[in-house]
Structure 1
Amino acid sequence: MIRLVIADDQALVRGALAALLGLETDIEVVAEVGRGDEVSAAVVLNKADVALLDVEMPGLDGIAAAAQLRTAAPDCRVLMVTTFGRPGYLRRAMQAGAGGFVVKDTPARQLADAVRKVAAGLRVVDPALAVESMTAGESPLTERETDVLRAAGTGGTVADIAAATFLSEGTVRNYLSSSMGKTGARTRANAVHIAEENGWLL
């Protein structure tokens, strides 16, 4: 029997996944959590074999939660399930130790099969996303450029971004300019959009 923990911040999705996977004779859903920072405790407490993690969650995102599990529960395998099949997310999830990465519209039978494969130590990756990830390549942004673009995503002024990132306004302008150059964007908002679409801002 595969002991499974499901983590998703949307109660309806979490419940649906638990109901579907709970129908499988060899999978037992032992816990459900709605925050990334609750994953490790749930996995350890319930001696889970597999953690099914959403990427975008409060407290701790799914990729950071996967990385945390490598220390807290090294025997637990991780399967990422996300609405947003962004290539940057896939690469970072695999670097964090995830064994699989699928999108939420995966048919129930395939999802259950992905849980089994990950539990067995195999890698499972959505084929379309794998191709997209190889084509997209690594994020061209530095850590600071990423921070500035993430802050720019809230739509504030340069002064607001400077305050949020503890940088001078001139430095913020420089980072925004270099980010626009690297993403091929014509505006700050466009640079944010491109970076988000590629999964570079999580």
Structure 2
Amino acid sequence: MISVYLAEDQSMLNSALTQIIDLEDDLTVVGSAKDGQTAYTEILSLQPDVAVLDIEMPKQTGLDVAAKLHEAQADTKVIILTTFAQKAYFERAVAAEVSGYLLKDSPSDQLIAAIRDVVQGLTRFDPELVINMVSAEHNPLTPREQSVLVEAALGGTTHEISEKMHLSDGTIRNYLSAIFSKLGVHGRLEAIQMAERNKWI
């Protein structure tokens, strides 16, 4: 029996996914959470075979949880399930060595198949994301610079970004300066607009 953990902040979707997975004879949902912090703690405790994580969750994102699980060398395979086909998110997922990355509008049978595949050591990435990765203009930003710019795009101040990323204010300012220099822009708004236009974030 393959044990699955779900982390999704939308109650209706969480319930629907639980029902879909539990209908399968070889799959069982062993736990679920509506925020990333709870998900991370329970995944370490329960050690499910697979964790299906939404990106946009309170307290910690699915990508934050995936990165922490990777750092903790957890055996749980991670599938990111999201509405966002953004290149920067995908690159962060790859950096965290997730096993799958699927869009929420994918048919449910694709998720079921992906769960079974990742347990066997395979990877399952949505074709749309792979196409975006290949076709997008070369991204001059490092993954860390992309993360800083994503937080800036969400409206975070330098201090708020530094606290969230556990870095000093000065380090964040240095990252922003490097971003502006690489993109040839003079401020956050221009950098964010250029990065979004090129699907770098």
Alignment TM class, shorter chain as reference: 0.7 to 0.9
Contact 1:141 1:179 in 2 (8 A): no
1:118 corresponds in structure 2 to: 118
Aligned residues: 191
Post-superposition Cα deviations, 1:70-126, rounded to whole Å, max 9, x if no partner, equal 354622111110011112211210210200100001111111001111111100010
2:165 corresponds in structure 1 to: none
Contact 2:66 2:78 in 1 (8 A): yes
2:67 corresponds in structure 1 to: 67
- Percent identical pairs in the alignment equals 33
Aligned-pair distance for 1:185? Answer: 7.5
Runs of 5+ unmatched residues, structure 2: 163-168
1:106 corresponds in structure 2 to: 106
**Secondary structure class of the residue paired with 1:59:** coil
1:150 corresponds in structure 2 to: 151
- Alpha-carbon separation, structure 2, partners of 1:104 and 1:162: 32
- Alpha-carbon separation, structure 2, partners of 1:34 and 1:138: 33
**Secondary structure class of the residue paired with 1:51:** strand
TM score, norm. by length of structure 2: 0.77
Contact 2:48 2:76 in 1 (8 A): yes
Aligned-pair distance for 1:187? Answer: 8.0
TM score, norm. by length of structure 1: 0.77
Name the stretch that deviates more: 2-11 or 146-155: 146-155
Q: Does 1:57 align with 2:60?
A: no
Contact 1:149 1:191 in 2 (8 A): no
1:158 corresponds in structure 2 to: none
Post-superposition Cα deviations, 1:29-79, rounded to whole Å, max 9, x if no partner, equal 010111111223222332300000111222221112112223546221111
Contact 1:153 1:189 in 2 (8 A): no
Matches within 5 A, 1:169-180: 179=179
- Alpha-carbon separation, structure 2, partners of 1:68 and 1:144: 19
- Alpha-carbon separation, structure 2, partners of 1:10 and 1:124: 23
Contact 1:4 1:49 in 2 (8 A): yes
Distance 1:26-1:111 versus aligned 2 partners, 3 A rule: same
Runs of 5+ unmatched residues, structure 1: 156-160
1:12 corresponds in structure 2 to: 12
Larger radius of gyration: 1
1:79 corresponds in structure 2 to: 79
Residue identity matched to 2:93? A
2:35 corresponds in structure 1 to: 35
Contact 2:5 2:50 in 1 (8 A): yes
Cα RMSD after superposing both structures: 3.2
